[in-house]
Amino acid sequence: MAKFKVKNARLSYPSLFQHGTYEGASTGKHECTFILDKEEHADIIEALQSEISKLQKTMKRKAKNICLKDGDDDDKPEYAGKMTLKAATKKRPLVIDRDRTPLIEADDKPYAGCYVNAIIGGLWCSEKYSPTIGANLDGVQFYADGEPFSAGGASADDFDAFDDDDDEDF
């Protein structure tokens, strides 16, 4: 099984420290999506597509769920003009900083929107339920800050200032 090294990819929907959730239930997997620039990542995209083609030929039915997708087929603006690669693992992947020191969830990185390097431990196929070609997530390395996709929460600047005379409006 071929390993793939993905460099300088934007991170989306990371569930690296806890199992991912879907509609409130645990997926039982650590997972994330990598956003790949079609030009900058052309070599890795081509290598992944080649491996996907090989796996597809071993399957009795055409895979409907494939880990590598054209971002233009999605309605998310950050995916436009890009390719996306979803990868997952049942055990917690290695998550490290630029200097290769381990990261924990409290470090607040990596986060959705930052840039990372990743090791994909190979692709696999299954026809058990729905024909699928997936990617194994082995590790993620924080590479650089990026504009967070969802900062979440509120700041004091989101509120209007009031003085005691304004209390009668409530």
Give me the residue spans of the domains in the chain.
4-148
Q: What is the DSSP letter of 40?
A: T
Separation CA 20–CA 24 (nearest Å): 9
pLDDT at residue 30 greater than cutoff 80: yes
Q: Tell me what pLDDT residue 129 has.
A: 85
> Where is average pLDDT lowest: 19-28, 68-77, 128-137?
19-28
Does residue 8 surpass a pLDDT of 90? yes
**Architecture of 4-148 per CATH?**
Beta Barrel (2.40)
- Average pLDDT of the chain is 90
The band of 110, judged by pLDDT with boundaries at 50, 70 and 90, is very high
Coil, strand or helix at 132: strand
Beta strands in 25-165 (DSSP E): 25-26, 30-37, 65-66, 68-70, 82-89, 94-96, 115-126, 132-144
DSSP tag of 28: S
**How much is the pTM?**
0.85
When mean pLDDT is compared across 100-104, 123-127, 152-156, the lowest value belongs to: 152-156
